[in-house]
Structure 1
Amino acid sequence: MDKFDVLSRYFGYTAFRKGQEEVVDCLLSGGDSLAIMPTGAGKSVCYQVPAIMLSGITIVISPLISLMKDQVNALVQQGIKAAYINRSLTDSQYDRVLKNAAFGAYKIIYVAPERLDSSDFTNLCRKIKISMVAVDEAHCVSQWGQDFRPSYLNVNKFISKLSKRPIIGAFTATATDEVKNDIINILKLNNPKVVTTGFDRPNLFFSVLRPEKKDSKLISLLKGRSDKSGIIYCATRKKVETLCDFLIEKGFSATRYHAGLSNEERIKNQDDFVYDRKTVMVATNAFGMGIDKSNVSYVIHYNMPKNLESYYQESGRAGRDGQEADCILLYGASDVQTCRYFIESAEPNPQLTPEQNEAFKQREEERLKHMIFYCRTSDCLRGYMLKYFGDEAEENCGKCSNCLTKFETVDVTIQAQKILSCIIRTGQKFGAAVISDVLRGKKNEKIKYYELDKQSTFGIMRDAEQTEIRHIIEKLEEQGYIIFVGAGKPIIKVTEMSYPVLKGKAKVKIKKTIKIKSKKKTAEQAADSPLFNILKQIRSEIASKKGVPAFLIFSDASLADMCKKLPVTPEEFLSVNGVGENKLNQYGDRFISAISEYAAKNDVIPDNQNSNKLNKSELGSAYEPWIEKETEKLRFEYELGMSIGKIAKNHGRTRGAIRSRLKKEGLIEE
């Protein structure tokens, strides 16, 4: 089999996605590769296809038990021999996997990085043929990455112990230039082919909301998604607990996940979510990396993450199957204080020098600044993120909350002068809340204690709303006129840029919302077709009997493609995205039968040339029994050399129906 045969037979696709073929070709030719592809771009196919074709075993190093379990279950469903080794296995299960591996029972073995120190595992790998080592979530090897894991430093040490150096493939969704260089150097990749496909996820709709009451807004968002799977990220364990209880009290099917739970509860709650027994997962960032659930249709961040790398990776849990999905961030000013507190209170990394720890802390603060600006920008949200990662972006993506919002540019120079003057006259010792109170003339205890009510700027913006002043302060920071200094509740200091404004030599302009357009069709608005729901029910029944998550049978994207193509023959069923020979053999009959029944009842059949649904009356006897006279005509036309498409048109039948009849008549081979 060549690479396309493997792709079609096992994975059900007729063509590689962007970047996949380059990586596959490199690995098959014996070269190392580093693939930087966004979540949902198909990184796993890049090493799974070569793993099937190479003569030995491929070791996949993966950070999370849940990822290994999901990936192995998916591979087994596709007819590929695979196993995983991690702490979830009992001693007898572990021994069995080692024994099977020694006899060549697997093509792919997933292992946790901590396992690379095990003498049993290392001794096994010295004896068997390791063709390739695939390092998933490779950014974990870098101390500058957002998920540095010291155990990943064992990877190169493990490889050096093998009798022969295997091919090495490294894979990650996000990597700055510094992290990319770390991956190459620490893993000692040999002149690797670096493939970066771009970070854009066109099927994701990005939105930043600033609700006065987050809980109320969250409830309204969830009500429109009651039958969808989604993740809600919170900044703290305490918030996960209270929010999960709140949602359950409101009648939502929710569960929770954070590092403070017992291992047993984490596994149970995650399984409840993955197997669709619970539709909402409320979690900290302990839940996310490597979660392979394909039908997550929304990710809501209840709190702002501390950097864009984390946000993009966590929001990328949505829409992995290619379906439309929403990524919503509920932003509040207190989120900034929480993130700054986490940065300031973080324990130093013992593997770094004091200078390196300080540099890392400064890097974290710089990342936080970009995250804050993302939440406050009036520019395209998608474009902001893509540019941050060094990618190109259009000015207007047409698929984020900012691009569907109308702004006007307004001159706020006078207001800016008042704010900047207040900051200076109060000694540059206070934060945004105090500055706002002084400007609005609020005589609270703090104002009186510091005698700020005696300042000349006290009450000079008495008629302004607090939200207006805070918004202008945010824009002044974004444009570089002021900076926030310190953790927790930072104070504001002016920059050199502010003085020309105060002297009337420069103007300050900001964008202001004037009207919000209606949102384009997104995940929660897309109405499921009756057939889609029928197929979902069949999928659920099969998954329940097999004891696997429903999306491992077929993804939502595959079901949607079935609704579009309406396959009524095995050959047509193979044309559905995500349907390979193994899944055709296992599930084809039941799905084809349901589709055929639906098509007949609703007077629609597919025209597989253009994937449009045509009325039965337009195609005559497409679903009528074959009669002898028609069969004779069919044989005559085929023997004349007429194309199947032409014959189908003459008979008012589908191409699939003609092929099936020709096979039955022995005119073409199976």
Structure 2
Amino acid sequence: MNPQSVLKEKFGYDNFRQGQQEVIDGILAGEDVLAIMPTGGGKSLCYQIPALILDGLTLVISPLISLMKDQVDALNENGIAATFINSTLDYMEVRERFNQAARGEVKLLYVSPERLDSDGFMADLSQLKIDLVAIDEAHCISQWGHDFRPSYLRLTETIQRLNSNPTIIALTATATSQVAADIMQRLAIVHEVKTGFSRENLAFQVVKNQNSDRFLLDYLKAQKQQSGIIYASTRKEVERLTKLIKKAKIKVAMYHGGMKEDERRQNQEDFLYDRVQVMIATNAFGMGIDKSNVRFVIHAQIPGSLEAYYQEAGRAGRDGLPSEAVLLFNLKDVQIQHFFIDQSEMDEINKKHEYLKLQEMTQYANTQQCLQQTIVNYFGDEAPECGRCSNCLDTRDAQDISIDAQKVLSCVKRMDEHFGKGLVAQVLTGSKVQKVMQFRFDELPTYGLMKDRSQKEVSGLIDYLVASGFLQASSGQYPVLQLAADGVGVLKGETKVTRKMAVKVRQALPEDNELFEELRQLRRELAEDQGVPPFVIFSDKTLYSMCEIMPETLTEMLDVKGVGESKLEKYGELFLDILNAED
């Protein structure tokens, strides 16, 4: 069996996506590989296809129980023998699944990294013929990653205890060059395949200084039945937003770590099965959520890093259809993330690193460069302007703010570049707080130069000047402002500074039509009958493709992307009945 025929027969696709063939060929040649691909870029196929070609078992190390079940359900739907072992199973179920693997009845076995800490479990694993180990969410292995897990650190030692000397594939969507180097060093991987971080179907948007509640309600009403996730930083805010949106008669569920496990599981299932439209959650929700038809992800509060933001925002549009990622930015929300870092048990070096990440996240919220390009550059990659984010679509003329910029830069200079944003804003607005008077900053020529503005407004301007490279902020809990080389040029009058204000922009999401709704209703009924999420039957993209191609026979149905032979046999006639009734 060759990879191309497996791709078509089992998964219903004619062509590999960028990077997939290279990764698969490397694995089949016995090479260990690090695959860095954007969310929705087809990482799973990079190990699922080799798993069907290799003789032995593929062991998939996956960080969350929900992801295991979804992926196993999806594989079983495609006629592929896969199972998982995790804490939801009792002893006898675990034994039976091990026995299935030993008898060669399954090709993929999903386990959590914590499960590998058990000596008894490892003793059982070492009896199996494991040809491939796939480490999903591999950024968890690096202490510089945004979701570091100590159990991942022991994976190198764990894999060495397996008797079969398996090939290794590590996969992630969000690894900076530092994190990628760390993963490769820890797992002794030489071959890296990186396909770029751009998400061509995602439109990024930053909304600043607006009433967040009003924006959310207006946005959700405009989306009708579209599925989406709203992230908030605290449990309290998740609960407040859930009440607010429920009042608007929108079907909504919530998810955070303070809820009972069975309630969390039920809410997650309701969201996966399209029983509710919107999930409001802390970052406890999402890693491993494989729901492909999420049309929007809104961050109601700023997350702690660009890695976390891109990981979470990337849960929109996994099926490749146009989707949106919206960040609602308010300065007060940055303080919440500061508090989280302050209260953490990290050492000072790691705290300093986290403060720097938060600064970079704040700069993203304040840049007027292409948002997609800003993210891609952060990950050490290059991309052209996307042409669809809120910055790219802001067609208004930029205003010359060089005079205001000079006032800020001059103030920073006159304060000897030893102080942070808050105090600079207080001096410029003419505040009489104790610290300003104590340092006699009220005697500076720049004192009160911007007294007609609020401190919040001036702080926003400072953030913009940092994001634009005219100022630089030191790392640490209390960043100190200093002039950058470009800032010196502004002070001398050699460089102009321009700025646009944020605007509301929205990319059109896929329009629903009656035929699509009928297909979606059939999908929902089949999913309920079989106890799997609807997207496991077919993705939204596959349903839209059916509407476009309008197949009339089972043979023509195979031309629809995402329809493989197993699904054709199970569901082909049912969906054809609806499609042919449209004639």
Tell me the TM-score normalised to structure 1 length. Answer: 0.81
Q: How does 1:449-528 map to 2 (within 5 A)?
A: 457-464=446-453, 469-482=458-471, 490=478, 493-495=481-483, 500=488, 505-507=492-494, 509-513=496-500, 519=506, 521-523=507-509, 526-528=510-512
- Give the distance between the partners of 1:279 and 1:344, measured in 2 at CA: 35
Instruction: Work out which of the residue numbers 567, 572, 575 in structure 2 matches 1:583.
Output: 567
Q: How does 1:325-344 map to 2 (within 5 A)?
A: 325-344=323-342
* Compared CA separation, residues 511 and 148, structure 1 to 2 (3 A): same
CA contact (8 A) 2:364 2:467 kept: no
CA contact (8 A) 1:256 1:269 kept: yes
Instruction: Work out which of the residue numbers 408, 416, 433 in structure 2 matches 1:419.
Output: 408
Q: How does 1:196-345 map to 2 (within 5 A)?
A: 196-345=194-343
1:500 positional shift = 4.8
The answer to whether structure 1 residue 574 and structure 2 residue 558 are counterparts is yes
3-state SS of the aligned residue for 2:168? strand
* Compared CA separation, residues 208 and 411, structure 1 to 2 (3 A): same
- Which residue pairs with 2:363 in the alignment? 373
CA contact (8 A) 1:211 1:217 kept: no
Instruction: Work out which of the residue numbers 386, 389, 392 in structure 2 matches 1:400.
Output: 389
- Give the distance between the partners of 2:153 and 2:454, measured in 1 at CA: 53
3-state SS of the aligned residue for 1:127? coil
**2:357 is matched by which residue type in structure 1?**
R
3-state SS of the aligned residue for 1:335? helix
The answer to whether structure 1 residue 144 and structure 2 residue 144 are counterparts is yes
- Give the distance between the partners of 2:202 and 2:161, measured in 1 at CA: 43
The answer to whether structure 1 residue 592 and structure 2 residue 576 are counterparts is yes
3-state SS of the aligned residue for 1:288? coil
Which segment is superposed worse, 443-452 or 230-239? 443-452
- Which residue pairs with 1:6 in the alignment? 6
1:432 positional shift = 4.6
* Compared CA separation, residues 466 and 529, structure 1 to 2 (3 A): same
- Give the distance between the partners of 2:488 and 2:197, measured in 1 at CA: 39
- Give the distance between the partners of 2:482 and 2:502, measured in 1 at CA: 32
- Give the distance between the partners of 2:125 and 2:476, measured in 1 at CA: 49
**Structure 1 runs not aligned, ≥5 long:** 349-356, 601-670
**1:513 is matched by which residue type in structure 2?**
K
3-state SS of the aligned residue for 2:126? helix
- Give the distance between the partners of 2:488 and 2:144, measured in 1 at CA: 38
1:299-343 Cα distance to aligned partner (Å, 9 max, x none): 001111121111111111010011111000001111222222322
3-state SS of the aligned residue for 2:160? helix
- Which residue pairs with 1:541 in the alignment? 525
- Which residue pairs with 1:113 in the alignment? 113
CA contact (8 A) 1:203 1:325 kept: yes
- Which residue pairs with 1:71 in the alignment? 71
- Give the distance between the partners of 2:130 and 2:443, measured in 1 at CA: 76
**1:168 is matched by which residue type in structure 2?**
I
- Give the distance between the partners of 2:408 and 2:325, measured in 1 at CA: 34
* Compared CA separation, residues 417 and 156, structure 1 to 2 (3 A): closer
CA contact (8 A) 1:413 1:501 kept: no
Q: How does 1:54-93 map to 2 (within 5 A)?
A: 54-93=54-93
- Which residue pairs with 2:52 in the alignment? 52
- Which residue pairs with 2:132 in the alignment? 132
**2:466 is matched by which residue type in structure 1?**
E
- Which residue pairs with 2:96 in the alignment? 96
**2:351 is matched by which residue type in structure 1?**
K
- Give the distance between the partners of 1:179 and 1:463, measured in 2 at CA: 45
- Which residue pairs with 2:380 in the alignment? 390
Which segment is superposed worse, 583-592 or 254-263? 254-263
CA contact (8 A) 1:429 1:491 kept: no
* Compared CA separation, residues 481 and 556, structure 1 to 2 (3 A): closer
Instruction: Work out which of the residue numbers 532, 556, 560 in structure 1 matches 2:516.
Output: 532
CA contact (8 A) 1:231 1:283 kept: yes
Which segment is superposed worse, 383-392 or 259-268? 259-268
* Compared CA separation, residues 230 and 455, structure 1 to 2 (3 A): same
CA contact (8 A) 2:472 2:484 kept: no
- Give the distance between the partners of 2:39 and 2:466, measured in 1 at CA: 32
- Give the distance between the partners of 1:541 and 1:562, measured in 2 at CA: 18
**2:25 is matched by which residue type in structure 1?**
D
- Give the distance between the partners of 1:161 and 1:294, measured in 2 at CA: 36
3-state SS of the aligned residue for 1:405? coil
RMSD of the TM alignment (CA)? 2.7
1:371 positional shift = 1.3
* Compared CA separation, residues 452 and 240, structure 1 to 2 (3 A): same
* Compared CA separation, residues 155 and 247, structure 1 to 2 (3 A): same
The answer to whether structure 1 residue 168 and structure 2 residue 155 are counterparts is no
1:50 positional shift = 0.8
The answer to whether structure 1 residue 564 and structure 2 residue 564 are counterparts is no
**1:326 is matched by which residue type in structure 2?**
E
CA contact (8 A) 2:142 2:183 kept: yes
1:368 positional shift = 2.0
Q: Which has the higher contact order (CA 8 A, sep 6+)?
A: 2
1:143-187 Cα distance to aligned partner (Å, 9 max, x none): 111111111123222222222201111111122222222222222
1:522-543 Cα distance to aligned partner (Å, 9 max, x none): 22xx321221111111111111
Which segment is superposed worse, 425-434 or 542-551? 425-434
**1:317 is matched by which residue type in structure 2?**
R
* Compared CA separation, residues 12 and 479, structure 1 to 2 (3 A): closer
1:271 positional shift = 1.2
1:38 positional shift = 0.7
- Give the distance between the partners of 1:208 and 1:492, measured in 2 at CA: 25
Which segment is superposed worse, 2-11 or 91-100? 91-100
3-state SS of the aligned residue for 1:285? coil
3-state SS of the aligned residue for 2:497? strand
Which segment is superposed worse, 418-427 or 269-278? 418-427
Larger radius of gyration: 1
**1:512 is matched by which residue type in structure 2?**
R
- Give the distance between the partners of 2:353 and 2:53, measured in 1 at CA: 42
1:534-585 Cα distance to aligned partner (Å, 9 max, x none): 1111111111111111111000000010011001101100111000011000
* Compared CA separation, residues 468 and 183, structure 1 to 2 (3 A): closer
* Compared CA separation, residues 341 and 484, structure 1 to 2 (3 A): farther
Which segment is superposed worse, 432-441 or 72-81? 432-441
* Compared CA separation, residues 215 and 11, structure 1 to 2 (3 A): same
CA contact (8 A) 1:380 1:402 kept: yes
**2:71 is matched by which residue type in structure 1?**
Q
CA contact (8 A) 1:343 1:364 kept: yes
**Structure 2 runs not aligned, ≥5 long:** none
1:246-305 Cα distance to aligned partner (Å, 9 max, x none): 222332212122222232222222112111122211111111222111111100011111
**2:3 is matched by which residue type in structure 1?**
K
- Give the distance between the partners of 1:516 and 1:496, measured in 2 at CA: 28
CA contact (8 A) 2:356 2:476 kept: no
1:78 positional shift = 0.7
